[in-house]
Structure 1
Amino acid sequence: MSNTRFRPFETSLDIDSTLGILKETCAGADDGELFLERKSSEAIVFDDGRVKTASYDASEGFGLRAVRGETSGYAHSTEMTESAIRRASETARLAVGDGGGAMAPAPKQTNRKLYSDDDPIAQAAFPVKIDLLKEIDAFTRGLDKRVIQVSATLAASMQEVEILRPDGHHVRDARPMSRLNISVIVEENGRRESGGMGGGGRASLSGLLETEHWQSVAREALRIALVNLRAVPAPAGVMDIVLGSGWPGILLHEAVGHGLEGDFNRKGSSAFSGLVGQQVAAKGVTVLDDGTIPDRRGSITFDDEGTPSGKNVLIEDGVLVGYMQDRQNARLMGVPETGNGRRESYAHTPMPRMTNTYMLGGDSAPSDIVADLKDGIYAVGFGGGQVDITSGKFVFSCTEAYRVKNGVVGEPVKGATLIGDGPTAMKKIRAIGNDMKLDPGIGNCGKAGQWVPVGVGQPTLMIGGITVGGSAA
């Protein structure tokens, strides 16, 4: 580095002194870094004809880490000064002890840019945002007389990060995020149901404010609500299901994705531990985690350890070929890091996390897949889900689903939950559609108390013998 001053976010730290502290912290360690972050975020919620909340938050801080073997020493602070970094060094240094390890090589450099560094919060004035939310409210209410409540949320954030390693490796990234969500409540004959739609990504806020875009979001939210208004209780039992393309990939994320994260597999606690090279899914199933897709919600130029994000094949034609790795777990497993070391903020340590996880498309037409479903459920929308990593068992609630008999899509059903386990479900995939798409940009993933934005995607799929929990026999 040729600069004489290290200037993270208008805070001056002398590069020589900062680097010297970092080198002292990591002397005898396997790895380590100084992670600096500044983040600002804004969210406006327009609910039931008025501004319900309008918030703005700004934070900054650093995290200092030293790693030796399986042990990490970590300290963080909101005070970005040399004295604070020196105090943090005393804590992080405890992980190293009297060890004499060799520092791991620095991550590769990248000049790739996956998204703009413009701050989406500043792309429209606050009064303009309020007027837009009012317009969304009025438009959505005017679509159908059964609409009794509308809620619209406009959110934007900018995260700036810098990572400095003891070898002098230094990277910076500005990560924008914007999102628009609209939810609707409808009522007819005393029955009330809801529907919602939204999305966004690491792109300009202005794209979400375009009339054509937000009107299509409003119409889709209303459509889902009206579908639910005529839904009947879901059946219960073991049956074949067809999953729609796009957002239903959240099932893939939970049922398979978490089980393919490196830390779980290094510790042997995943249902996929020790299975590299073995058939873990049906033929034709190829699953990737790809943090390099421009402007996507889960994309990152480099991860929170400074490793460039990658397009990593996890399962190829049904065979497990690799896991998602951060630097520590990759080193301990003797494999390359994959650019999946992520953290929620400067106050958290990095761990293997997904970015955009999706399944590639196949050869079948979606209409043919549905036509082949003799007696089951066609699920195109999902709410929350959870998974047990060790067993791979998952539970998912459907927000939009239909009963199918003899290939004919019938009435919508409500209260349907899908219950199964990831390894078994992957082997029961019977048909893969040619319509792979990514979700609209709404995913958040939780792990060990940390939340990060993610993306999911898949084509239309048929899976045999899934347990459906419902309210009708």
Structure 2
Amino acid sequence: MSRPSPLSVPTSNSFFRDRFAIDAALVERCLAAALGAGGDFAELYFESVTSSSIGIDEGIVKSASQGHSTGCGIRVLSGERTGYSYTDSLEEDRLIHAAKTAALIASGPATTRVQGFLETDVHDLYPVIGLDAEITAKLALVQRADKAARAYDGRITQVRAGFNDEVRHIFIAASDGTWAADTQPLSRFSVSVIAKDATADGGKGATARGSGGGGGRVRLDYYSGHHSPEHFAAEAARQAILQLNAIEAPAGETEVVLGPGWPGVLIHEAVGHGLEADFNRKKQSAFAGLMRQRVATDKVTVVDNGTIANRRGSLNVDDEGTPTQNNVLIEKGILRQYMSDKLSAKVMGLPRTGSGRRESYASVPMPRMTNTYMLAGEDEPEDILRSVKKGLYAVNFSGGSVDITNGKFVFAASEAYLIEDGRITAPVKGAMLIGNGPEALQYVSMVGHDLSLDEGIGTCGKRGQGVPVGVGMPTVKLDKMTVGGTGQ
């Protein structure tokens, strides 16, 4: 990658150039206006999103929509001060006005000039597609899920299914020479069910819920085989039927085994957020000041990898124009890296990790995760279970929360079982895993070789912004964790 000559013009923004006349000359005028009141850095983030969704409830189409949004967010940095403004119009006068507004918010004594643009070499992790599939094809997918869920068991009384997809075009240009563009497809299939059994729970009756789904940066033909509507519907129904006769989870401190795949959401929440650079820059994280120190047993290696092809959390380039990377956050128990955006990297003297993300052009970028997971170990999953005399096997989670400042977390297990004498026995309901992220990592004693990533359903929230992410882990044993429940 080499710097272009003064006469050469990057061409990767062809979508915005051809449709909205956003060329290099206009970009330079906008950046100059953004730096007009002083500042260290200015950035333009152009975005155009086309989306569609369809949902059915009880076999009836309850929602169907298509939408389009276009706009530009303009950011100016002066030291650690940020000025941000955005516009839903890409007309030059509106862009210049937004640039001047951001400049005034962040105005400071420092000044810089716009550098010659350097086109970013980006990954090629997903297909370049449009929303060209007929709505009837998408409707057929959700109807198949409805039919399959009901056929699974007569106790399934309610089914909801939905399909959402979008194509996002982005273009980032900045005063430091950044010039990067990407076209990002994304889709998600979801199904949820309710099961009822009047004879369950000793004749008292019981109601239970289950959910399934998946997706990624994929074409419509992805939803076949293991990723078919029938597969996701059967998984949702299986979970619900299982819970009808589950016993109350026992409370207390016990050994816990986490299953592979979606339980990696615990790593995402309890560990990943604490390793985002902005929380550490502001000393708000339980991991602040622990770089190159031991924070887990040597069984634990955690990465954030935005470069896995077709994954929901993957990106060719982040929302600041930096190519994504495979970032090793914790290596054999030692904290190696925080996830950084441009601002945190500059202030903290860190390398940029391709972690600057935003929900839309109306949002300020910040350090965010992509696909965060624990690497596989060498233990046999069966040996891990056999090693537990009495404990809990948590396979799926429905939700959770974490306090970044101290690492304390609470997670609700939607599918869990008792482990008795090394065997999986009764399913339980109402299990809550309670702990502290940094402390929990000290109790990891066995890690399986069965690393699995989630099906592609995750959305991460931070400061009011949601972005698509992925999680994962192998089977993992924690020697001690507090389980909340109402059983004995």
CA distance in 2 between partners of 1:107 and 1:266 (Å):
29
CA distance in 2 between partners of 1:86 and 1:323 (Å):
35
Cα drift, residue 135 of structure 1: 2.9
CA distance in 1 between partners of 2:108 and 2:316 (Å):
35
- Name the CA shift for 1:100/1:211 in 2 (closer, same or farther; >3 Å): closer
Aligned partner of 1:80 in structure 2 is: 90
- Name the CA shift for 1:44/1:7 in 2 (closer, same or farther; >3 Å): closer
CA distance in 2 between partners of 1:317 and 1:445 (Å):
26
Aligned partner of 2:243 in structure 1 is: 228
Number of aligned residue pairs: 471
Cα drift, residue 21 of structure 1: 2.5
CA distance in 1 between partners of 2:15 and 2:221 (Å):
30
Aligned partner of 1:281 in structure 2 is: 296
Deviations 1:22-71 (A, max 9, x none): 12323642222100101122111111121121122211110011111111
CA distance in 2 between partners of 1:191 and 1:217 (Å):
23
**Which letter does structure 2 place at the counterpart of 1:22?**
L
Deviations 1:307-331 (A, max 9, x none): 1111100000000011000000000
Cα drift, residue 462 of structure 1: 0.6
- Whether the 8 Å contact between 1:19 and 1:168 is mirrored in structure 2 is no
Cα drift, residue 97 of structure 1: 2.6
Aligned partner of 1:318 in structure 2 is: 333
- Whether the 8 Å contact between 2:78 and 2:108 is mirrored in structure 1 is no
Cα drift, residue 95 of structure 1: 4.3
- SS of corresponding position for 2:124: coil
CA distance in 2 between partners of 1:103 and 1:15 (Å):
15
2:354 maps to 1:344: no
CA distance in 1 between partners of 2:144 and 2:348 (Å):
54
**RMSD of aligned Cα (Å):** 2.0
Aligned partner of 1:114 in structure 2 is: 125
**Which letter does structure 1 place at the counterpart of 2:57?**
D
- Whether the 8 Å contact between 1:30 and 1:104 is mirrored in structure 2 is no
CA distance in 2 between partners of 1:148 and 1:96 (Å):
56
- SS of corresponding position for 2:19: coil
- Name the CA shift for 1:31/1:48 in 2 (closer, same or farther; >3 Å): same
2:155 maps to 1:146: yes
CA distance in 2 between partners of 1:338 and 1:90 (Å):
30
2:471 maps to 1:460: no
Deviations 1:72-125 (A, max 9, x none): 111001011110111112211124434225579988822421111102x32x21
> What are the ranges of 5 or more consecutive residues in structure 2 without an aligned counterpart?
1-7, 199-204
CA distance in 1 between partners of 2:112 and 2:334 (Å):
35
CA distance in 1 between partners of 2:289 and 2:378 (Å):
31
Deviates more, 1:20-29 or 1:139-148: 20-29
CA distance in 1 between partners of 2:174 and 2:183 (Å):
18
TM-score normalised by structure 2 residue count: 0.92
- Name the CA shift for 1:212/1:376 in 2 (closer, same or farther; >3 Å): closer
CA distance in 2 between partners of 1:379 and 1:172 (Å):
41
Structure 1: 4+ residue segments shifted above 6 A: 3-6, 103-108
2:30 maps to 1:21: yes
Cα drift, residue 238 of structure 1: 1.0
- Name the CA shift for 1:328/1:61 in 2 (closer, same or farther; >3 Å): same
Deviations 1:212-247 (A, max 9, x none): 722222222221111111101111111110000010
1:415 to 430, 445, 451: 430
CA distance in 1 between partners of 2:119 and 2:70 (Å):
26
Deviations 1:307-359 (A, max 9, x none): 11111000000000110000000000011111000000000010000000011
- Whether the 8 Å contact between 1:68 and 1:95 is mirrored in structure 2 is no
CA distance in 2 between partners of 1:89 and 1:129 (Å):
40
Identity among equivalent positions (%) equals: 45
- SS of corresponding position for 1:13: coil
- SS of corresponding position for 1:278: coil
CA distance in 1 between partners of 2:172 and 2:326 (Å):
22
- Whether the 8 Å contact between 1:374 and 1:405 is mirrored in structure 2 is yes
> What are the ranges of 5 or more consecutive residues in structure 1 without an aligned counterpart?
none
CA distance in 1 between partners of 2:432 and 2:227 (Å):
34
